[in-house]
Amino acid sequence: MPNVMFLRVVTRTQVGIVGAGPAGLVLSQLLDRAGIESVILENREREYVTQRVRAGLLEQATADLLDELGLGERMHREGLTHHGLYLRFRHQSHRIALSDLTGRSIWIYGQQEVVKDLIEARLAAGQQLHFEVSDVSVHDFEGDKPRIEYTHEGERHEVHCDVIAGCDGFHGVCRPAIESRLTIHNHEYPFGWLGILATVPPSTDELIYTLHERGFALHTMRSPELSRLYLQCDPHDDIANWSDDRIWEEMHRRFETDDGWELNDGPIIDKGITPMRSFVVEPMQHGRLYLAGDAAHIVPPTGAKGLNLAVRDVRVLAEALSKFYADGDSSLLDAYSATCLRRVWRVQHFSWWMTSMLHLIGDADDFEHKLQLAQLDYVVSSQAAATTLAENYVGLEKV
Ligand code: APR
Ligand code: PHB
C-alpha cells in the first residue's frame, strides 16, 4: 500500500500564478494572448472572490486594457464614465474637471465585477484556474525549475513552471517566502475607512471627496441605484459600534453644505472597516519569483490606485515574459522590478498626498488643518495645481 502522503499530481506549465485577484487574472489573460500557458491557484471559493466588495475606480488605461482583452462589454453596459470629481471643504464643493484638464476620463465599475468578468472568460476558454486550494507553498525559484505545491480536494499537487507570479495579495505566501531578501517600507496611518454599500441612488453625479472638521468622507457609487460611501474612522474601531443610524448621521454631518445640497440615505447592505497603510517591498522579485499587485505594495485608497497599479505591474510582467519566451531575452524580466517601482513610488506619493490633504490629523493647534485648507484652496483655484491632481488621478501615461 503506497503512503498517500507522498503521492503528488504533477502539472507542467510555463507560468504558475498564485492568486486570482485582478493581478493574477489579468496576467493570465495577457499571457494567454501572447500564447503563454499559465495555471492560477486561488485559496478562496469562487463566490468569495466575486462577492467581496472592494474599490471600484478604473483609470482610462485599465478600462482600455479590458477592452483590448475583449472583456469590456459589461463594463460599457453597466459601468459609469466620469469626467470630473468634487473636492468639498468649508462646506462648499469645487469641481476638478478631469477630462478637460487631461483629455482622459475614469470608469466606475466594481473590482468584483472586473474579477467576475475575468474568471468567466478564463473558465470559458477552458484555461486552468483552481479555487479552494490550500497549503500553497513556493519552491526552487532561485534556480530555473520553480515549483508550487498545494492541496486540492484532499490531494497534494505540484505545478512545475519556468516562472512564479506572486499575485496573492497582501496576506499571501509569496512575499513572505522571499521577505528576508527584501527591503520593506511600511507606513501605517492613524485612521481607517468605514465603507458602506447602500441601496439608494447616489446624491451626486461625480465622486465627492470631503474634508470636514469631523474628518474625511467620500461619496462614490456603483450604479444609478447603488451608492458607496466611506468615512474616516479609528482603524481599531469595531463595526458593531456603528449602527446604520449612526453611520448616516455622521455622513450627513460630514457632507453638509451651505447650498441646500441633500444626501440621500437608505438601506445599508454591506459595511466594514479597513485600516490604511502605504507599503512597498524592494525589489519586487527574487530569482524566478515575481511579485505583482498587493503582494508587493499597498496604497491608501484615497487616490483609488490599488487595482490600477496591480494591472500596471502585470502588464510589465506579461511584456517581459513575452520577450523572454519569444527571443530567450530576459532583459525586460531583469528590469521588471525597477520598471514597476518607478510607477509604484509615483503612485505612493500621490496616494499619500491625497490622504494627507483630506484626512483630519487632529493636532492640538490646528496647524496641519490650516495647511490642508491652504492646499485645497490652491488645488481648486490654480489650473496647474488642479492638473497635477487630475493627471495623477486619471493615471499618468508615462512613468
Ligand atoms: N494561495 C492562493 N491564493 C491566495 C493566497 C494563497 N496562499 N493568499 C491569498 N490568495 C488570493 C486571495 O484570496 C485573493 O483572491 O490572492 C488574491 C489576491 O487578490 P487581491 O488581494 O485582490 O490583490 P491583487 O490581485 O494584487 O489586486 C490589487 O487593488 O484595490 C486594490 O486591494 C485592492 O484587491 C485589490 C488590489
Ligand atoms: C470606490 O468607488 O470604491 C472608490 C472610489 C474612489 C476612491 C476609493 C474608492 O478613492
Measured by CA distance, the residue closest to atom 2 of ligand 2 is: 56
> Rounded to the nearest 5°, which phi and psi values hold at 115?
-65, -40
Q: How many Å lie between the centroid of ligand 1 and the Cα of residue 293?
A: 8
Residue whose C-alpha is closest to residue 310's, from 172, 208, 194: 172
Phi-psi category of residue 135: left, alpha or beta, with phi > 0 → left and psi -120 to 50 → alpha? left
Q: Are 209 and 393 in contact (CB under 8 A)?
A: no
Q: Which of 36, 169, 49 is nearest to 118 (CA)?
A: 49
82 is known as an active-site residue: yes
Q: Which atom of ligand 2 is nearest to the CA of 221?
A: 2
How many CA atoms are closer than 13 Å to the CA of 123, on its beta-carbon side? 11
State the distance from the centre of ligand 2 to the C-alpha of 229, rounded, in angstroms: 8
**What pLDDT sits at residue 44?**
97
What would the grid cell of residue 116 be?
A: 467576475
Reply yes or no on whether 393 is catalytic.
yes
Residue 5: DSSP 8-state = G
Contacts of 136 (CB under 8 A, 6+ apart): 18, 41, 43, 148, 149, 150, 168, 173
Q: Which of 335, 334, 230, 342 is nearest to 297 (CA)?
A: 342
Please tell me the residue having the least CA distance from ligand 1 atom 8.
Answer: 172
Tell me how far the alpha carbon of residue 194 lies from the centroid of ligand 1, in angstroms.
20
Q: What is the pLDDT of residues 55-98, one digit of tens each?
A: 899 999 999 999 999 999 999 999 999 999 999 999 999 999 99
SS3 content of the chain, % helix, strand, coil (to 5): 40, 30, 30
pLDDT of residue 4: 52
Of the bound ligands, which one is closest to the alpha carbon of residue 307?
1
Protein residues with CB under 6 Å of any ligand 2 atom: 55-57, 207, 218, 220, 228, 301-302, 304
Give the helix/strand (H/E) hosting 232: strand 226-233
Q: Is the CB of 202 under 6 A from ligand 1?
A: no
pLDDT tens for 247-295 read: 999 999 999 999 999 999 999 999 999 999 999 999 999 999 999 999 9
CA 53 to centroid of ligand 2, rounded, Å: 11
Report which ligand 1 atom has the smallest distance to the Cα of 19.
16
Q: Are 361 and 312 within 8 A, CB to CB? A: no
CB of 296 closer than 8 Å to CB of 127: no
Which ligand lies nearest to the CA atom of residue 166 in the structure?
1
Task: Give the HSE-up count for residue 187: Cα atoms under 13 Å, Cβ half-sphere.
Answer: 11
pLDDT of residue 365: 80
* Positions of the chain with pLDDT lower than 70, given as ranges: 1-6, 364
Q: State the catalytic residue, choosing from 146, 202, 300, 301.
A: 301
Cβ count within 10 A of residue 46: 16
Q: Amino acid letter at 183?
A: T
**Active-site position among 150, 209, 290, 325:** 209
